Amino acid sequence: DNILGPDAYVVLINRWNTLSDDKKEATFPRVAPNFIVELRSSSSTYISCHRKMLTWINAGVEVSSLILIR
Instruction: Give the pLDDT confidence score for residue 63 in this predicted structure.
Output: 95
pTM: 0.78
Q: Rounded to the nearest 5°, which phi and psi values hold at 58?
A: -65, -20
Q: Is residue 1 part of a domain?
A: no
Q: Is residue 42 part of a domain?
A: yes
6-21 pLDDT per residue, tens = 999 999 999 999 999 9
- Give me the number of domains the chain comprises: 1
Q: Is residue 3 part of a domain?
A: no
What ranges in the chain are assigned the alpha helix state H?
13-16, 21-24, 46-58
Domain hosting 35: range is 8-68
Q: Is residue 2 part of a domain?
A: no
DSSP three-state, residue 2: coil
22-69 pLDDT per residue, tens = 999 998 888 999 999 999 988 889 899 999 999 999 999 999 999 998
> For 32, which DSSP code?
-
